[in-house]
Amino acid sequence: MGDRLKRIGLVAAPWLAIVAAWYGVRESGLVNSALVPAPHAVLAKSVDLFARQGLAWDIFVSTRRVFIGVAVGIALAVPVGFLIGWFRSAKAFADPLVNFFRALPPIALIPLVIVYFGVDEPAKLVILIYASFFAGVIVMYEGVSQINPLFIRVARTLGASQSEVFRKVIIPLTVPHILTALRVALGVAWATLVASELVAAQRGLGSMIQNASTYFLLDVIYVGIICIGLVALLMDLALRRLSTRFLAWQDRVGA
Amino acid sequence: MSEPRIRFERVSLEFPTAAGPLRVVDDVSYDIHEGEFVAVIGPSGCGKTTMMNMLAGFQRPTSGRVLLDGREVAGPGSDRGVMFQEYGVFPWLTVRENIAFGLTLKANRVPAGEREAIVERYLGLMGLAGFADAYPKHLSGGMRQRLALARAYAVKPQFLLMDEPFGALDAQTRSNMQNLLLEILAAERKTVMLITHSVEEAIYLASRIVIVTARPARVREIVAVPFAYPRDEAIHEAREFGELRSHIRDLVMDEYRAQQGQARAVAFSE
């Protein structure tokens, strides 16, 4: 019981420290306190937004966009990344190509996305899929190209056919890389969300922040940022849980 | 004498390199008969492993033939169990699942009940029973080696090919593994090819020793080991053991120096 309390304390301490520092900055007079809404005011604002402005719907809309963007992006990145990683010659020409597209900030592509995909839901998803795909595909092919060929040899000497090697050796060795790709893509997708919701979004956390900045509603901006952080954190925790379950065999899990 | 089970027939192998073909194995011929334990010894990097790879079916000779019961080796198969230098145990499977792996493949599938029985048997024989459901990350080097041996044995291969299997183990574990190998071979006889660079190991385990030259590997000499099986540690003290050891060591050291000379020549020419 004491251990448990200690653990909760350890987890809570940095968060409490941030809130304390937040109050500290506000009270110190270094910054005009009108520019730094107090934590309790932000909390009150979030309750208000939940109750009267449908904050839950904004969270849902944004989460759904990230979810679909990552799911589609990774569904494409897994086979493509696998093939690039598996055939070394493919990696030589794919690597610069992938890095070129990955280096482009999604926000710079928004004008083009609007031209080709309009301003509706598909446009926002395209940006998220783009970001997830290029983040994930690199993780996949770097991982797959490092699969130790020894395991394939061992399986062959035990009598495995080509398809058995694929099902019983290559797939289990690919799963960790798929999970890593998911985690990386989730991070990138949340970072890209605000950019994607710049495209004439009505709802969503990114558009909420955008609209609030137009009217200089600092407390709403704070609420939006905190919500993005919290949802991203929860998704990452869920993925880590999944990793610990499926990857108990690895030397380091959840690291 | 009966037909050999394994025959290297004027086998040569060359690797293509930027500077032209590099000959690794050069006109090697020798036979391994049913139930024999042949150790191949030579300086490291001389092409011993390449010989084993050809027998395992991973590489094809540039010329000559590697024959298994009179038929040319076409690819890997579960009739030849292979133990690699790095243990190659599957980290994503538990100890039990590792041993069962080969038995779940189409090539040697057995009913679940029989599979269980085989796995239990080797868990016991290899002293792994207490770790049956652990992942390999929890095993020591010696235990991983025993697991690799159990996994290879489970599919009942007729041949056992071993590439410096005990090279990475400490001296004590190594000698335990050698004794375990002799025990299990006494219980379930196989035709064995062992690649090693340890003269003691070759004499202690093998019935015949093929000494190969510095690269490209040629057969320098083949010696018969005059000790009957079952063997025990005491033969290390025998006079013949010592004589054989110094004879083989001289040959190997001679080839080792030749190899060093080659390396130096390359270094100077660069």
Mean pLDDT, rounded, for B239-265: 89
- The answer on A90 and A44 residing in a single domain is yes
The dihedrals phi and psi of B91, each to the nearest 5 degrees, come to -70, -20
What is the distance between the alpha carbons of residues A235 and A189, in angstroms, rounded to a whole number? 12
Residue A4 has pLDDT above 80, yes or no: yes
Q: What is the pLDDT of residues B158-186, one digit of tens each?
A: 999 999 998 888 888 899 999 999 999 99
Minimal CA–CA distance to B127: which of B99, B90, B102? Answer: B99
- DSSP assignment of A207-244, as one string? HHHHHHHHTT-HHHHHHHHHHHHHHHHHHHHHHHHHHH
**A9 and A108 co-located in one domain:** no
Residue A70 has pLDDT above 90, yes or no: yes
Alpha-carbon gap, residue A208 to A223, rounded angstroms: 9
Residues B101, A159: C-beta atoms closer than 8 Å = no
What's the half-sphere exposure (Cβ side, CA atoms, 13 Å) at B237? 3
Are the C-beta atoms of residues B230 and B182 closer than 8 Å to each other? yes
Residues of B in contact with A154 (CB under 8 A): 82, 84, 88, 90
pLDDT at residue A232 is higher than 80: yes
Which residue does chain A place closest to B83, by CA atoms? A154
B237 close to B211: Cβ distance less than 8 angstroms: no
Q: Residue A172 is nearest to which of B88, B92, B155, comparing CB atoms?
A: B92
Query: Are A197 and A154 found together in one domain?
Result: yes
Residue B249 — pLDDT band, cuts 50, 70, 90?
Answer: very high
The encoded tokens of residue B12 equal 């040569």
Q: What's the rounded Cα separation, in Å, for the pair B208 and A152?
A: 31
Domain range for A17: 1-36
Distance from C-alpha of B67 to C-alpha of A109, rounded to nearest angstrom:
62
Count of all residues that appear for chain B in the document: 270
Helix (H) or strand (E) holding B176: helix B171-187
Q: Residue A149: closest CA among chain B residues belongs to which residue?
A: B88
Average pLDDT of every residue of chain A: 89
Structural domain total, chain A: 2
Are B54 and B60 a contacting pair, CB within 8 Å?
A: yes
Interface probe for A, chosen from B79, B90, B119 (most Cβ of A below 10 Å), is B90
pLDDT computed for residue A255 by the predictor: 35
List the domain boundaries for chain B.
33-60+158-270, 89-156
What residues contact residue B158 under an 8 Å CB cut-off, 6+ apart? B5, B79, B80, B190, B191
Rounded CA separation B69/B34 (Å)? 10
Query: Residue A247: closest CA among chain B residues belongs to which residue?
Result: B92
Task: For residue A148, give the 3-state DSSP assignment.
Answer: coil
- Residues A118, A7: one domain? no
Q: What is the pLDDT of residues A217-229, one digit of tens each?
A: 999 999 999 999 9
Q: Domain check: are A173 and A150 in the same one?
A: yes
CA distance B268 to chain A (A): 33
A251 located within any domain: no
Clarify whether residues A180 and A100 are in a common domain. yes
Among A112-121, B64-73, B115-124, the least confident range? A112-121
C-beta atoms of B78 and A159 within 8 A? yes
Q: Please spell the DSSP secondary structure of A102-122, one letter per residue.
A: HHS-GGGGHHHHHHHH-SSHH
Which two structure tokens, joined as six digits, stand for A89?
Answer: 């010659």
For the domain B33-60+158-270, what is the CATH superfamily, name and number? P-loop containing nucleotide triphosphate hydrolases (3.40.50.300)
Question: Would residue A174 count as lying in a domain?
Answer: yes
Measure A155 CA to nearest chain B CA, in Å.
8
pLDDT at A110: 85
Q: B101 and A156 in contact by Cβ < 8 A?
A: no
Does A56 share its domain with A96?
Answer: yes
Contact A189, A69 (CB under 8 A): yes
Report the CATH number at residue A86. 1.10.3720.10
Contact in structure between A56 and A241 (CB atoms under 8 Å): no
Q: Identify the H or E element spanning A2.
A: helix A2-28
Cβ contact, residue pair B92, A173, below 8 Å: yes
Beta bridge partners of B80: B159
ipTM, two decimals, is 0.89
